[in-house]
Structure formats: structure tokens, C-alpha cells
Amino acid sequence: MKTALYAGAALAVVTVALGATAAQAQTRQTIQIAGSSTVLPFASIVAEEFGAAFPEFNIPVVGSGGSSGGLRQFCEGVGDNTIDIANASRKIRTAEVEACAAAGVTDIREVVIGYDGIVFAVNADKGDFALEPVHVYKALAAQVPVDGEMVDNPYTSWADIDSSLPDQPIALAIPAGNHGTREVFEERVVVPGCEEAGVDDADACITFRQDVVVEIAGDYTETLSRLQSNTDTIGVFGLSFYEQNTDTLKVATVSGVEPSMETILAGDYPVSRPLQFYVKGAHIDAVPGIAEYVEFFLSDVMAGAGGRLEEAGLIPLEADTRAQIVADFNEGVQAAAE
């Protein structure tokens, strides 16, 4: 018993020591990615196919955490215990570039992979919605103009806002601030709607009422379960998620355009945004396969028209654009913050 215990204790010490030294000595062989849950499915598919096409490299590891979470991890510094690539469904912010620089991350390269649409969807058995940005604004703003004066939002039903909409209680499930989707949602829907309503106070535009608006910090499946528990809810989803769940969801038109790959590609559907990832330049030579991963991501078989990612719901870029992005990446063109 005594010896067993001593042996156990010795083993423990050895393991910790080994673990610590191995971690010091080891240079990571696997690309580490984190960030946007919208980009995650695409990045995961590319990671797996990359592992199949380049057997000499490990399959990259793709984490989630939202665009902001990913960029925060990205800006923690340079080294093995920080991620190499941050997926984002919005552009990097100036504050984030500064945080990165403060931690020694100075070489940040942006790689745009394609487009994604943001759709409004309701349960399939609900009425048809033909939304305008101003409807959405009036439904969720804390204060709205009525007869030229800002008053607490009086609307309870969509029909109150516009008689063309179904008489359905207002309830919205929107992405929380950790999602890049939120920023695009505010920028492309709420703010234009706000301007249309004649409000010129940017803060008032994006101050939402708390009684009918639910902010979802998790994945789209969480939004979906919110729609199932309160069947009157309108949810904000990515187009690719909606397309995988057409059996339970019905999509709303925005400004009269139905979201689809075609309408987004043609630029008709107003609520679309580019998806991208940010690569830490300092890691390109340290972790094997990063340059190959970027090139493979934007190759015809992946991000091209008819490629694997289009099947999964990504709206592809033109071949020239992709070639230009790869060239910029290889030349080390720096990401411009917005």
C-alpha cells in the first residue's frame, strides 16, 4: 500500500513535469481556429477536406465562441497557446486591431471567403411576412416616433405597425452582441429602418425594448428552440441554417425580395454580409499548413461556384476575386479595420 501510494505520487509529479516541459518544447503542429459560429460549419468542412487533400498536415481544429470571442482570443498574443486564425462574420474593429497590437499581434491578414444572407424566419405554419427595415425597427426599438415625438414603443402586434403584416404578437429572437451577425443586423436592417422612420439619433436606433426582444448568445438551434417555445417569435438566422431547416421554418421577404443564393449573389437581397477569417501573420511559418489552408479554402472545389461550401450554403465569390484575395494574403496585405 505504502509503495503504491508513493509510486502514485511520484507518477503524478513526473506527469506534471513531463506535461510542462513537453508543452514548452513542443511547437504546435495543428492549425487552431476559433470564432464565428456562422463560419464554423464552412471552416470545419474545409478543415476535414484539407486533412484529406494534404495528408502531411493535421486536420485543423475549429472552435466557436462568436466573432467577438474569436477575435479576442486571436488578439491575446503570439505563440503556441494562442489561436492562428479567427473566423468572423463581421470586419475586425479598430479597437480589436489596437488590442492585437498591444499584445504583439501586428501582422493581421484578412481572407474573405464568400457571402452569407441574414434571414427572418417564422414557424412554417405562421402567416407570410413581407418585412421592410422600418417594420423591424418599429417592432424592436425601445422608443419610436409617433406624430413627431419619441414615445415608448406602443406596438404589440405586427398588424399595428403595418396593416399588410399578419396580426401576430411581436416577439423577436435576435443574435446577442457576441455574434457578428448582430452588427450586420443593426447596420443593414435596424439603422436603415430607423432613418426611414425619420430618427437621426444613432443610439436611439439601436436601443431595443426588453419585453419582446430576446437576445440569443448561443447557436441558431437556440433561436430555433425559442421559436418552438413561443411560436409567435420571428427569429434571425443565417441563410444556410434556414436552408437546412426548411421543414420547420418559413422565411420572410425583406423589401420584397426573398432571400436565396441567387438574390444574394445578384445583390438584390439587402441583408447580406461577407464572411471572412483573420490570419496571424507571425504564425504562418511557425505552424505548418496555414498558407496551404488559406489557398485550399479559396480553391474552386471548396469556396468556388459549385464547390463543397456552396452546397453547404455559402454564397461564392468570383474566381478573380478569390485569386486576388489569395494573392493579397501571400503578399502580406494587412486587414483594414472598420
Partner 1 sequence: MSDMSQSAALDRRERVRNGLSRRHRGEAIFRGIGIAAIAIALALVGTLFWQVLSKGLPAFTQATLHLDVTFDEDVITAGPAPLRSDYASAAQYEAAFLDWRRALAGINWAALIEQAVRAEMPELDAEASDIRRLVDNNAGLTLRQMYQDDPALLNQTLNVALLGSADTDNWLKGTIDRSLPDARQQLSAVTRAIADRFAADGVISMDFAWHIFTNTDSRTAPASAGLAGAFVGSLYMMLVVVVLAVPIGVASAIYLEEFAPKNRFTDLIEVNINNLAAVPSIVFGLLGAAVFINYFRLPISAPIVGGLVLTLMTLPTIIIATRSSLRQVSPSLRQAALGLGASRTQMVFHHVLPLTLPGILTATIIGVAQALGETAPLLLIGMNAFVANIPGTPLDQSSALPVQIYLWQGNENRNFFEARTSAAILVLLGLMITLNAIAIFLRTRLERNK
Residues at the site binding partner 1, with contacts judged by CB under 8 A: 1-2, 5, 8-9, 11-12, 15-16, 19-20, 22-24, 26, 28, 30, 32-34, 37, 40-41, 43-45, 47-49, 51-56, 58-59, 61-65, 73, 76, 79-83, 124, 218-222, 224, 240-241, 244-247, 308
- Using CB atoms within 10 Å of the CB of residue 56, give its burial: 0 to 12 exposed, 13 to 18 middle, 19+ buried: exposed
Beta bridge partners of 118: 238
- Using CB atoms within 10 Å of the CB of residue 130, give its burial: 0 to 12 exposed, 13 to 18 middle, 19+ buried: middle
CB nearer to partner 1: give 18 or 146: 18
Q: Rounded to the nearest whole angstrom, what is the least distance from the CB of residue 126 to partner 1 in the complex?
A: 14
CB nearer to partner 1: give 69 or 133: 69
Cell numbers standing for residue 154: 406602443
CB nearer to partner 1: give 106 or 299: 299
Residue among 137, 217, 118 at smallest CA distance from 175: 217
CB nearer to partner 1: give 65 or 133: 65
Angular region, 104: left φ>0, alpha ψ -120 to 50, beta rest: left
Q: Rounded to the nearest whole angstrom, what is the least distance from the CB of residue 77 to partner 1 in the complex?
A: 9
DSSP 287: S
Amino acid letter at 245?
N
Which residues lie closer than 8 Å to 278 by C-beta, 6 or more apart?
Answer: 71, 74, 85, 86, 88, 92, 108, 109, 110, 111, 335
Cell numbers standing for residue 259: 432571400
Q: Rounded to the nearest whole angstrom, what is the least distance from the CB of residue 47 to partner 1 in the complex?
A: 7
CB nearer to partner 1: give 254 or 287: 287
Cα 137 vs. chain centroid, distance in angstroms? 22
Q: Rounded to the nearest whole angstrom, what is the least distance from the CB of residue 1 to partner 1 in the complex?
A: 6
- Using CB atoms within 10 Å of the CB of residue 34, give its burial: 0 to 12 exposed, 13 to 18 middle, 19+ buried: buried
CB nearer to partner 1: give 27 or 210: 27
CB nearer to partner 1: give 150 or 257: 257
Q: Measured in Å, how far apart are the chain's first and last C-alpha atoms?
A: 65
Q: Rounded to the nearest whole angstrom, what is the least distance from the CB of residue 272 to partner 1 in the complex?
A: 18
Q: What is the dihedral of CA 183, 43, 218, 97, to 10 degrees?
A: -40
Please give the radius of gyration of the chain, using alpha carbons only, rounded to the nearest integer.
23
Q: Rounded to the nearest whole angstrom, what is the least distance from the CB of residue 211 to partner 1 in the complex?
A: 27
Beta bridge partners of 315: 115
CB nearer to partner 1: give 33 or 131: 33
Q: Rounded to the nearest whole angstrom, what is the least distance from the CB of residue 153 to partner 1 in the complex?
A: 32
Q: Rounded to the nearest whole angstrom, what is the least distance from the CB of residue 72 to partner 1 in the complex?
A: 12
Give the DSSP letter string of 214-255: EEE-S-HHHHHHHHHHSTT-EEEEEHHHHHHTTTTEEEPEET
Q: Rounded to the nearest whole angstrom, what is the least distance from the CB of residue 103 to partner 1 in the complex?
A: 11
CB nearer to partner 1: give 45 or 199: 45
